[in-house]
């Protein structure tokens, strides 16, 4: 059996891309705040006062992962939780002043990191790559939330 050319396998390339991103993130952005944690901070800048499930949906994290990320950010004092007055089971989230400061600092660093990360590409290629990655990511999100079964056809009277 011959070896397979893994450069034609999107999963292999995605893993290599993730490794490069992780290395750049840790060296250029933060060793303390992870990329998913930053995504949550960013979501709360965009929509302060949303609940945990909504934040998870916005940043593409499953329920257990978003719960852990929220817990870590809460322990660090970067976000605050308040019970939803309309539904006591839900917590509404917002950034603390420290969370806002950290987000602002990391946003500058992520912009620099993205320049390095995408540096091998022309501006046009960067646009195309980001568009393609969004399309594949959006399609993959559909795999996490598959549509329900088709409704049965209505009975003919």
Number of domains in the chain: 1
Q: Which CATH number belongs to the domain containing residue 57 in this structure?
A: 1.10.10.10
Asked if pLDDT for residue 149 goes beyond 80, the answer is: no
Q: Which domain holds residue 78?
A: 15-141
Q: What is the structure's pLDDT at 88?
A: 85
Give the model's confidence band at 110: pLDDT under 50 very low, under 70 low, under 90 confident, else very high. very high
**pLDDT tens digits for range 23-76:** 999 999 999 999 999 999 999 999 999 999 999 999 999 999 999 999 999 999
The answer to whether residue 156 is domain-embedded is: no
The answer to whether residue 58 is domain-embedded is: yes
Give the model's confidence band at 150: pLDDT under 50 very low, under 70 low, under 90 confident, else very high. low
The answer to whether residue 96 is domain-embedded is: yes
Q: What is the structure's pLDDT at 140?
A: 84
The answer to whether residue 43 is domain-embedded is: yes
**pLDDT tens digits for range 73-88:** 999 999 999 999 998 8
The answer to whether residue 91 is domain-embedded is: yes
Give the integer Cα–Cα distance in Å for 43 and 22. 20
Burial class, 90, CB count within 10 angstroms (exposed 0-12 / middle 13-18 / buried 19+): middle
Give the integer Cα–Cα distance in Å for 52 and 67. 7
């Amino acid at each position: 059996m011959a070896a397979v050319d893994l450069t034609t396998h999107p999963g292999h390339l995605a893993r290599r891309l993730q490794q490069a991103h992780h290395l750049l993130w840790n060296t250029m952005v933060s060793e303390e705040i992870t990329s998913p944690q930053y995504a949550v901070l960013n979501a709360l800048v965009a929509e302060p006062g949303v609940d945990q499930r909504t934040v998870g949906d916005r940043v593409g994290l499953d329920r257990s992962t978003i719960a852990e990320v929220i817990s870590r950010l809460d322990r660090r004092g970067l976000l605050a939780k308040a019970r939803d007055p309309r539904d006591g089971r839900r917590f509404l989230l917002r950034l603390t002043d420290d969370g806002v400061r950290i987000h602002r600092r990391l946003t500058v660093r992520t912009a620099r990191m993205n320049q390095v990360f995408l540096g091998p590409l022309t501006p046009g290629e960067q646009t195309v790559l980001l568009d393609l990655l969004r399309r594949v990511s959006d399609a993959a999100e559909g795999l996490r939330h598959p549509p329900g079964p088709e409704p049965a056809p209505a009975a003919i009277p």
